[in-house]
Structure 1
Amino acid sequence: MKLLTASLLTFAWPLAAQAEIIVTDPWARASVLASRPSAAYLTLTSDAPDRLLEVTSPVAGHVMLHGVATDSAGVTRMVHIEELDVSPGTPVTLAPGDSHLMLMDLSRKLEEGESFPMTLVFEGTGDVTVDVPVLGPGAMGPTEERP
């Protein structure tokens, strides 16, 4: 059984290494203070199985991937996620009120109208760096209607 598993991994790895990750609609919310975290959102699409392992940005001491979980009493809370699987043809959207990226230990306050780089590290694809525009503190996304 171990030999079969090793063989499958040997053949699967080159396929994962050829995955193309497409990142759409990256954005973050402006922060109230540099001492308070902010959140970033985006959508990931891949043409082959891959896994998001890490996210970094020069504006944050560390970036955490958070999901949401509801317990048996109906209480919903954030939960830390170590890795995020991306399946072919199935977009993974990180959005307000759902899974998101927490920008912790900000080096400075994030101001509406600016942008910053963020690097997503995938198991197969490797590093993908995106430019993340900063929207207002109450924004719900880059495509929302403006008054």
Structure 2
Amino acid sequence: MIRTVLIAATLFATPAFADVTVTAPWARASILASRPGAVYLAINADPADTLLAVSTPIAKAAMIHSVETGEDGIARMSALATLPLAAGAVVTMAPGDMHIMLTDLTEKLLEGETFPLDLTFETGGEVTIDVPILGIASKGPVEATQ
């Protein structure tokens, strides 16, 4: 009898989903569709979570990229399979730093338009955001509101 109750309690227990917040997404306009694009944003998860994948219909591939500067002063990008998110810590993606790289664009990124970006989290599930496209020389959304 006790075993049956424990199994039932386990089956009907509500899983603890992470509360994921994605803020300030943006991308720069592109000159050509043949050139890669990048998405910048901030992510906060509480409790901790992991960003497992990113995708968008405007690119054949979307990858999380980190940027490391070596002892020689040269910055190098590397693709991350996943991005761990510490509880309550904000991970900011910005030009010259971590970003989401978009390759094989299906069309140019045109200033003033938006495109959907799907982010898949281990516990938080899938989150779809609209990414505004700012000017080709933009430094971010703060600049766009001034």
Give the structure-1-normalised TM-score: 0.85
Contact residue 17 and residue 125 of structure 1 kept, 8 A: no
Q: CA deviation at 1:74?
A: 2.4
- The separation in 1 between residues aligned to 2:23 and 2:106, in whole angstroms, is 25
- The separation in 2 between residues aligned to 1:103 and 1:16, in whole angstroms, is 33
Contact residue 134 and residue 144 of structure 2 kept, 8 A: no
Give the structure-2-normalised TM-score: 0.86
- The separation in 1 between residues aligned to 2:116 and 2:50, in whole angstroms, is 20
Structure 1's 146 and 130: CA in aligned 2 closer, same or farther, altered over 3 A? closer
Structure 1's 112 and 90: CA in aligned 2 closer, same or farther, altered over 3 A? same
Contact residue 16 and residue 50 of structure 1 kept, 8 A: no
Indicate the SS of the match to 1:79. strand
Structure 1's 29 and 145: CA in aligned 2 closer, same or farther, altered over 3 A? closer
Q: CA deviation at 1:137?
A: 1.0
Structure 1 runs (4+) greater than 4 angstroms displaced:
14-17
Query: Where does structure 1 lack aligned partners over 5 or more consecutive residues?
Result: 1-13
Contact residue 39 and residue 100 of structure 2 kept, 8 A: yes
Are residues 1:140 and 2:110 paired? no
Contact residue 54 and residue 117 of structure 2 kept, 8 A: yes
Equivalent position of 1:54 in the other structure: 53
Are residues 1:122 and 2:134 paired? no
Amino acid at match of 1:102: M
Query: Where does structure 2 lack aligned partners over 5 or more consecutive residues?
Result: 1-12
Give the count of matched residue pairs: 134
Are residues 1:27 and 2:26 paired? yes
Structure 1's 15 and 74: CA in aligned 2 closer, same or farther, altered over 3 A? farther
Amino acid at match of 1:40: V
Q: CA deviation at 1:46?
A: 1.0
Structure 1's 99 and 19: CA in aligned 2 closer, same or farther, altered over 3 A? same
Q: CA deviation at 1:77?
A: 1.3
Residue identity over aligned pairs, in percent, reads: 49
Contact residue 62 and residue 103 of structure 1 kept, 8 A: yes
Q: Within 5 Å, which residues of 2 pair with 1:96-115?
A: 96-115=95-114
